[in-house]
Structure 1
Amino acid sequence: MSEQQTSAAAGPAAASAAGAGVIDLLGLLAYARLVAFFRLAGDAELAPTLAGKGQLAEIAVSEQANYRRLHDRLRELGADPEEAMRPFVVPLDAWHARTEPQSWLESLVKAYVGDGIADDFYRRLAELADLETQALVRDTLVESGRAEFVAAQVRAAIADDPRLAGRLSLWARRLVGEALSQAQSVAARRPDLAALLGGGARESAKGGAGADDTAQPGDLAMVSRMFADLTDAHTARLEAMGLSG
């Protein structure tokens, strides 16, 4: 048997071993990183300085690379990356539509605070998956370059016009509320993803009128509690930008 045939034959078994919840997590992250690439590339065009354009362009390129790593890992697990991402297109697109920035500074705060708390949530979910998934998710959610750039830009803007602090703080709080709503919406639609919070993916029901295609109330409650536990990182991001909670 050729190496390609061996890989193809191993694919379904690998996907089964990974669990439906892990495939969901990687599909969610892959689409999130793909959207982040396009959004950051668009934000780079709006940057008021050439240095800002270059910085955001570099961050956008890193997001594309992260998308490719997640895409390739889904392939390795025998999953179709496009099919794995498809369930998350509507909820993530809706989140971005509800949180459309109205200014350059709002786009920066969203890239740092809104995406940051969502990434914290993804990271916590990954901690309940296998070690390889944990490592991959951790590596694709590194935000240090973005954090330093955004914090410096926002602090400088507030120093020039202190009145911006109140408006941007309100915007940051709205982003967090919308992120919680997004997480609950996704978990409600993807029970295997929500079931990771119980320590492992639930086996998907296969066909039949009795198939359970919604998350259990306990799983959704754990999603809410997990987000409530992420406030420390959120507060640190606000402080780094010179904003209050």
Structure 2
Amino acid sequence: MTDSPVGDPAATSPASPSQPPVDPSEDPFADPAYRDAVVDLLGAIAYGEISAFERLAEDSKLAPTLEDKVALASMAAGQLEQVAGIRRRLEELGVDAFEAMAPFRRPIDDFHRHTAPADWYEGLVKAYVGDGLAHDFYREIAAFLDDDTRDLVIATLGDAGEADFVVGRVRAAFEVEPRLAGRLALWGRRLMGEALTQAQRVAAERDALAGLLAGGRPGLDLVAVGQMLSRMTERHAARMNQLGLAH
């Protein structure tokens, strides 16, 4: 197991895009493509947080103790609270929040359907690793945004102590059942593969988001997407290391 500090290794680490973010001296929302990209990103984050709330609330039923049940339920409530700021920002842009979320229901629901945890520990790893991968994807795109929008996104995706709870419980379980590590390592790789599949799908299907990743050029920049996925893979490896699942 690792002795490195507990916490989300990407929570305070900005993305490293190949091009600079929006010029603060200009009004980026004068560009319809940029506005569409912001709406898409906020819609994806909002629905992602709602889905995380639903999943965590459901997974709390698997908790072995009342303390664990309450902890996971509290994490679920925190996910839902984070949607409020996103909804306000969408309303300021004159956009219906539910319409902005609609395009992302299928890919996010597909991810959760394909990665339903079999037990308490798989649910914990998914809460830390799966949500972390989604947040990495959104942070990557946020690196290209204006300061106000980027700050809102980063604040919404902040770690509120979930990492400490999950890592502590998973590491403690290995002391009792060492063979659990092998199964959870495989589970972590499955989460990674499914998350990358859905991230590529969203990037390919949403032209405005693809335009941001391509530096404002039309179409999908496969090089930029490849670099983004490489950074996501590195952060995933860091989280797995925190859990004691590095190989």
Q: Same fold (TM over 0.5)?
A: yes
The equivalent residue for 2:179 is 163
| Residue 24 of structure 1, aligned match among 40, 64, 67 | 40
The equivalent residue for 1:216 is 219
**8 Å contact kept, 1:43–1:104:** yes
Shift of 1:163: 0.4
Which consecutive unaligned segments of at least 5 residues does structure 1 have? Answer: 1-12, 203-214
| Residue 229 of structure 2, aligned match among 227, 232, 244 | 227
CA deviations 1:44-77 (Å, max 9, x no partner) are: 2221111111111111111111112111211111
CA deviations 1:88-138 (Å, max 9, x no partner) are: 011111111111111110011111111101211111110101111111111
In the alignment, the residues of structure 1 paired with residue 124 and residue 219 of structure 2 have an alpha-carbon distance, to the nearest angstrom, of: 36
With the length of structure 1 as denominator, give the TM-score of the two structures: 0.84
In the alignment, the residues of structure 2 paired with residue 15 and residue 160 of structure 1 have an alpha-carbon distance, to the nearest angstrom, of: 57
The aligned amino acid for 1:143 is D
**8 Å contact kept, 1:47–1:53:** yes
1:109 aligned onto 2:125 = yes
Higher helix share: 1
The equivalent residue for 1:145 is 161
In the alignment, the residues of structure 1 paired with residue 227 and residue 185 of structure 2 have an alpha-carbon distance, to the nearest angstrom, of: 23
1:63 aligned onto 2:79 = yes
In the alignment, the residues of structure 2 paired with residue 53 and residue 236 of structure 1 have an alpha-carbon distance, to the nearest angstrom, of: 27
1:136 aligned onto 2:152 = yes
1:47 aligned onto 2:63 = yes
| Residue 136 of structure 2, aligned match among 109, 120, 125 | 120
The aligned amino acid for 1:109 is V
**8 Å contact kept, 2:129–2:188:** yes
The equivalent residue for 1:36 is 52
The aligned amino acid for 2:194 is E
In the alignment, the residues of structure 2 paired with residue 168 and residue 154 of structure 1 have an alpha-carbon distance, to the nearest angstrom, of: 9
In the alignment, the residues of structure 1 paired with residue 52 and residue 184 of structure 2 have an alpha-carbon distance, to the nearest angstrom, of: 21
Residue 14 and residue 65 in structure 1: after superposition, are their counterparts in 2 closer, same or farther (change >3 A)?
farther
With the length of structure 2 as denominator, give the TM-score of the two structures: 0.83
1:241 aligned onto 2:236 = no
After superposing on structure 2, the runs of 4+ consecutive aligned residues of structure 1 that deviate more than 3 Å are 13-18
3-state DSSP of counterpart to 1:229 = helix
3-state DSSP of counterpart to 2:82 = helix
**8 Å contact kept, 1:183–1:223:** no
Which consecutive unaligned segments of at least 5 residues does structure 2 have? Answer: 1-28
**8 Å contact kept, 1:184–1:224:** no
In the alignment, the residues of structure 2 paired with residue 77 and residue 18 of structure 1 have an alpha-carbon distance, to the nearest angstrom, of: 12
Shift of 1:179: 0.7
Task: Name the structure, 1 or 2, with higher relative contact order (CA <8 Å, separation 6+).
Answer: 2
In the alignment, the residues of structure 2 paired with residue 192 and residue 22 of structure 1 have an alpha-carbon distance, to the nearest angstrom, of: 8
